[in-house]
Amino acid sequence: MTDLELTGLTAVRLVEGYRKGEFSPEEATRAALERADRIQPDVNAFVRLLADEALTQARESTERWRRGAPLGPVDGVPTTVKDILLLRGAPTLKGSKTISENGRWDEDAPSVARLREQGAVFLGKTTTPEFGWKGVTDSPQSGVTRNPYDPTRTAGGSSGGAAAAVALGAGPLALGTDGGGSVRIPAAFCGIFALKPTYGRVPLYPASAFGTLAHVGPMTRDAADAALLLDVIAAPDSRDWSGLPAAPGSFTTGLSGGVKGLRVAYSPSLGGQVAVRPAVAAAVRRAVERLAGLGAYVEETDPDFTDPVQAFHTLWFAGAARVTQQLGAHQRKLLDPGLREICGQGARRSALDYLAAVDVRMELGRRMGRFHDSYDLLVTPTLPITAFEAGEEVPKGSGHRRWTGWTPFTYPFNMTQQPAATVPVGTDGDGLPIGLQLVAARHRDDLVLRAAHTLYEAGIGAAGLTPAGS
């Protein structure tokens, strides 16, 4: 099998090949590293490649597979880690010039630790905006990350490097973080799958300054790979006081069953609150019609809430102010100007302002809880637009001030802590990917994954998606 063929395989297919002796983890890792080197000048997906370490891990994995004794279901699979999460032996700079590379860097985040225990191969750290603060990926520390389909466009963010790497074959598994859409936004722009699990399903340490808005989630080629990854990383860790107990069963096993009989609410524009581009609306509607054809009971209806953006801004801006609170005047000058601006706004919010935003959040959670008494799934566009100019926080001429202006379908479900995923459902007239969002009640990650897997099996998830650099 050629390197190009190896980099095109899912994690599930790689593990099957290891088991059958068709190829080795060392071969797959060399191919992924070569791919990462090739794409880096065009898309800037990585802040750090760990070639020597990855090849050592891959050789060890190859020997385990030769003996028939893999450590777990992801043994030998090339994997990337967003540079927000700790990876032992590599600096975690979070896109910021205010963090020094000097340090011990001797601890793994919980999700990374679970992957290491089961033999995953770590290719490197992927790009993020500074402290993951916005919905596109550019930072003072690592520059601009670009879209695999058109390098003049953004990859989205804040897990933009992870999305670009997966889309272009530099490792089929990626760890991202999502505080307002940050795995779903770049996945939708880059034509891959991503899941923001129920809050606490994947433990997080150190705790995020953005509090319980922040989730760790898988970014992958398809839903089956995401289920495989979630089976590994959704394990309790004592360092996360808010983490959930172990899931009752395997997410991979739960993929089967289809969507027949599921009650699906389809909301094309959140009750007319969102202006959605016609190409996006049409692609999402076609996929929803396919769900109906596969046996789901689909009703066009809207969840009962108005845009909670002001409350989200209070929570988000206060978190940004907190993460930069200890910086001196010189360090503050090094910050992304947009981040510096929202930190100032967040610092001016009072405790009463923050608690009022928490009240909005709790009411939104109550409304969505009641909504899911009647519907198993909510379907929306992931984003109302496709990828725009790289290096910009908002599309030129849009009139938006902040990234939340063009992400109205994503951040509400961070406030409610619900599982939400994005599935690629086609492209627009410029060949740019379009995403469909699936949302379920808290703790029903299995339903989101099952519906997404059904779309992939029906040929929806990969329709027409071929990155320009592949």
As annotated, the active-site residues are 82, 158, 182
Query: Residue 138 is inside which H or E element, if any?
Result: strand 138-139
Q: How far apart are the first and last CA of the chain?
A: 16
In residues, how long is the chain? Answer: 470
Distance (Å, whole) CA 346 – CA 272: 30
- How many other C-beta atoms are found inside a 10 Å radius of the C-beta of residue 32? 28
Query: Residue 322 is inside which H or E element, if any?
Result: helix 309-323
The candidate with the shortest Cα–Cα distance to 156, out of 392, 412, 455, is 392
Cis peptide before 350 (omega within 30 of 0): no
b/e 114-140 (16+ beta carbons within 10 angstroms → b): bbbebbbbbbbbbbbbbbbbbbbbbbb
Collapsing DSSP states into helix, strand and coil, what is residue 363? helix
Are the CB atoms for 422 and 188 separated by under 8 Å? yes
Residue 393's identity, in one-letter code, is E
The candidate with the shortest Cα–Cα distance to 377, out of 297, 275, 306, is 297
The candidate with the shortest Cα–Cα distance to 461, out of 264, 255, 253, 298, is 255
372, two tokens: 């899911």
- How many other C-beta atoms are found inside a 10 Å radius of the C-beta of residue 284? 24
Distance (Å, whole) CA 334 – CA 89: 25
